[in-house]
Structure 1
């Protein structure tokens, strides 16, 4: 007991707590001191950094503000609740990590565009760090990120990224896609995996230099493993990494590792090794061979570079994640909205028939003449909100922003959901209404606030490709088929499923040839 008394006396003297020091000098009750130290320890663990944006008042050790937020894992719901209570800049601890939410277009633009030097870092997150090792295009930062992104943009532009020379490659894949749908013979079918195959094949042709047949077993397993990663990479393990030690793989930690190992060791590395073995600098026609050429060039000069095989593997991961899931998911949402709004589908079809007819495939050159179709795509991107709250950011140093303290290790959420669902911007944000993007002259309205691909230096690398794919895929699908519900009296739900993206729940559809 004497030892405890001495320890408590030292603590009180350290904190200059004169009353408790005197109490102990008079030897009045170790129990009272223990209670005080316990309360002091709880306060110490629950305290928040001074000056951070407002949020829940009491933060618990380990759990953070999860009880105040009713244990909610969907960041959109968390952000909406916090915004309602604390304003456009607010914060919360999810586990031990501080999340700061920017809940308006002006704030997001100011942070990511005007202050891009400070706000363009990526935060450290357990699962993403484990999977990417902070390499590649999406989750790296500093000079490695600049090198990977610069190389990717220059190389993909050379392959027609965002330009009309890529159109032939997309058209080729669309023809396969349409034929497989036609073989369904108006029966009920699920478009989910089919759309993934079509969109992923476009990335495959640019990265590997080849496409895969839809029944290729390796390709199908690859998409399955990739799909599993999409579902689990946003896991609660990012906030509570210790949960991975619970028995039974309750939070899919081992599954994520197995998914990654399969994709890396069975798909990506064998392709890189094959490219290395057969490399010919006079025949460089895909991303991998271009990267190998650049690595060899840098190696000869002896310059320091972050272009290496590990970075290449991570970059390929990023290209497939960015180039497959978002576009294929948007296609699925569009078809689902057609089922709920058949007049919208009919109006799209009429516009396509009037401008394109049925004798040829729609072209990207037709886009200015198909304003309603473009408006529908824009409204789907807004209403479906594929990217949820956007990809997390971090500040490169402790920062003051709008009078608040943003610690360097905080996770900054540029809340895209808050912008795309804001009635102050859209008027009736909950309503699916493509006409909001059409002006009185029948032309498409370009709204700065429509940021489904985010904004600033970290804007989605595949934005231009995604927009081209969406236009060409959807115009061709509507030109060739009328999409009908399996049961007109029981339409598939518009309630989405939250993973790495916001996807529609699985549904079946009938495609009737026109």
Structure 2
């Protein structure tokens, strides 16, 4: 056989390879066409690479999927992904456990933690414990408000250090938001000039940016390429450093643990491990799950809220009438000295509506957090196999003309009724719904309202005089990020 191969000339080999490639492409086209009708309609995929790589503007592309009806389909590589384009079909699907899975990102999470973990016993135990423990350490109680209000004072002071000068608000906002979840999970906050923590926040931001790239989508489909060079190596390096930070916190907590006075989530988890080991051999509570759960809380509790606030500054500066109306309402109710509380929401309907409108327009997770079917199921007449990825088309839902008074503009009236009272349309599902509803929804709502209201009470925001191009399409990573931008902060006290 080897002798025969040696006799073949280069032309014959190339011709054979070319014909083989043609055959594979034709077979793939046949396979795709044969499945049409079995899955929901959608844009025609390219052989092997699917649909996603052809999207130059993902947000516009997702909005356009509503033309295919309530359900459509995309392809990531050769794998179909079901897209839910309306609030009605999203509610119908996500209240069912069959749609409550997560695709396993085994090369990072290894099936541990809370967020990117399959639907089952471990997830239930970890989520239940996290909710219970976070409530005990402030979530849903007055103490979390106290933490946010205390941090808002630091944030205002930090931003006004550069009063009248052009400054990038990203680090200050990210640090302030992260300090809340850090105080609950690790029992401490970090100063804005802490170089080690600033470095970790930069790693975290890079991680989210890189994790949404096409290269990583390919890696999720073809895990063996993790052994080869590529951008995924940087993600794994960043992830390892973040895990190192958590493990160092765990090590310090072990050395100073007082069983009678748990200080935070890590202390509570260490005590739970000891408790479960004595009474339950099938427990999912162990140190690696603790590290991954703490990292999940740290990641989710930092970037989403910070990114929403950054988008908020852009929208408020571009709509100075909204910024001024919010400020006037806040000062009329609170004055300049009293910081807001969550009880003030009903007294500040326009400001509260503005916070929600920022969330709608920023739409930091326009495709939702991906779900996966845990068993074969049906939806609107389609048979959906187990292990099918499901995405929510928030890009379409948040701009549906049937449900929003001003779908294509930044306008807080979208969240106000005819009497000027706050009103939340059913299509506003920024935190998802069903069994996989966002674990930190209460915390995020508290932070967004108190931070944005406090900032508008004390600071006037504007663009710097130097030319600055703001691309409202932003940058797509795991989330929808704004591009870097500079602003001018001026104290309201001195202005007025």
Equivalent residue runs for 1:420-459 within 5 Å: 420-459=398-437
Q: How many angstroms does 1:302 deviate by?
A: 3.2
Asked if 1:51 corresponds to 2:51, the answer is no
How far apart are 1:273 and its partner, in Å? 1.2
Match of 1:254 in 2: 233
Alpha-carbon deviation of 1:441?
Answer: 2.3
Alignment of 1:89 onto 2:89: no
- Cα distance between partner residues in 2 of 1:373 and 1:439: 14
Relative to structure 1, is the Cα distance of residues 279 and 433 closer, same or farther in structure 2, using a 3 angstrom cutoff? same
Residues 1:118 and 2:102 aligned together? no
Q: Deviations over 1:110-152 (max 9, x none)?
A: 0012xx211101123xxx3322112111111211110111001
User: Is residue 130 of structure 1 aligned with residue 114 of structure 2?
Assistant: no
1:36/1:232 Cα in 2 relative to 1: closer, same or farther (>3 Å)? closer
Distance 1:490 1:275, change over 3 A: closer
- 2:412 and 2:145 mapped to 1: Cα distance? 25
**Deviation per residue, 1:205-252 (Å, 9 max, x gap):** 1111011111112101111111111101122234422598599955x1
| Per-residue Cα deviation, 1:165-184 (whole angstroms, up to 9, x for no partner) | 21111122111111111211
5+ long unaligned stretches in structure 2: 1-18
Corresponding residue for residue 299 of structure 2: 321
Structure 2 partner of 1:371: 349
1:122, 1:393 within 8 Å by CA — same for their partners in 2?
yes
Task: Work out whether residues 330 and 380 of structure 1, in 8 Å CA contact, stay in contact via their aligned partners in 2.
Answer: yes
SS of residue matched to 1:131: coil
Aligned to 1:64: 50
Map residues 348-367 of structure 1 onto 2, 5 A cutoff: 348-367=326-345
Shift of 1:41: 4.1
Report the secondary structure of 1:510's partner residue: strand
Partner of 1:205: 183
Asked if 2 retains the 8 angstrom alpha-carbon contact of 1:50 and 1:405, the reply is no
Aligned counterparts of 1:470 and 1:40: Cα–Cα separation in 2: 52
**2:121 is aligned with 1:139:** no
What is the Cα deviation at residue 78 of structure 1? Answer: 4.0
Match of 1:341 among 308, 319, 336: 319
Q: 8 Å contact 1:485–1:491 — kept in the other structure?
A: no
Instruction: Give structure 1 stretches of 5+ with no counterpart.
Output: 1-32
SS in 2 for 1:344: helix
Q: Tell me how far apart the structure 2 counterparts of residues 390 and 58 of structure 1 sit (CA, whole Å).
A: 22
Q: Distance in 1 between matches of 2:184 and 2:55?
A: 39
* Two-structure CA RMSD over aligned residues (Å): 2.6
Deviations 1:310-359 (A, max 9, x none): 11111112112211111111111111111111111111111111100012
Output one character per residue of 1:30-77: Cα deviation in whole Å (capped at 9) or x when no partner: xxx9999878844565443862212345652x22345xxx62276544
Maintained 8 Å contact 1:136/1:312 = yes
Normalising by structure 1, we get a TM-score of 0.86
1:5 corresponds to which residue? none
1:59–1:398 distance in 2 versus 1, CA, 3 Å = farther
Offset of 1:399 from its aligned partner? 1.3
- d(CA) in 2 for partners of 1:196, 1:398: 41
| TM-score (normalised: structure 2) | 0.89
Deviation of 1:492 after TM superposition, in Å, equals: 3.4
**Aligned counterpart, 1:6:** none
